[in-house]
Amino acid sequence: MAYRRFPASGEGRPEIGAPRQDRLLDGAPTFRTWNAYESTDGRTFCGIWEATPGRWRVVYDEWESCTILTGRSIVTPEGGPALNLGAGDSIVIEVGFRGTWEVVETTRKSYVIRI
C-alpha cells in the first residue's frame, strides 16, 4: 500500500504508558498511543499520541515531526527558551534533543518518528 489514512481520534486499542519514573518532574501523566503505521524496515512510525497533564525530562534518540491536534504543551530545550504549543502548531525534534515536555492541558498530537 502506498498510503495509510488514520483518524485523529486514534484507531483500535491504544498502548497505555507514562514517563519513566526517573524522568518524571511533576504530576502523574499518562500516555495513550495509537501507532497507525510502521515501515517495512521498522524505522518509521506514525500515529496519534495523547498525554494528560504533567512534566517530564525528554531525551530524543529519534527524529520526530508532530502536529498538536488538541490541548496545550510546553517543550523546553536544556538551556533554551520554552516553546508553547497549541492546536495547529507543528514541531520537528532532532536526534539528541534534551529538555522537558510539559502537558498543560491534555494534549493529542499526530506524529511521524524515524529511528
> What length is written for the chain?
115
Amino acid at site 104: V
User: How far is it, in rounded angstroms, from Cα 17 to Cα 2?
Assistant: 30
Angle in degrees, CA 2, 61, 17, rounded to 5 = 80
Predicted pLDDT of residue 103: 98
21-79 pLDDT, tens digit each: 999 999 999 999 999 999 999 999 999 999 999 999 999 999 999 999 999 999 999 99
Sequence ranges of the domains in the chain: 15-114
Predicted pLDDT of residue 114: 98
82-102 pLDDT, tens digit each: 999 999 999 999 999 999 999
The whole-model pTM stands at 0.93
Predicted pLDDT of residue 7: 80
User: If pLDDT is split at 50, 70 and 90, which confidence band does 1 have?
Assistant: low
Res. 9: pLDDT tops 90:
no
- Mean pLDDT over residues 107-113, rounded? 98
User: How far is it, in rounded angstroms, from Cα 63 to Cα 106?
Assistant: 23
Predicted pLDDT of residue 5: 80
Residue 5 vs residue 82, higher pLDDT: 82
Angle in degrees, CA 105, 85, 75, rounded to 5 = 90
Question: What residue has cell string 511533576?
Answer: 26
User: How far is it, in rounded angstroms, from Cα 48 to Cα 8?
Assistant: 7
15-114 belongs to which homologous superfamily? Jelly Rolls (2.60.120.10)
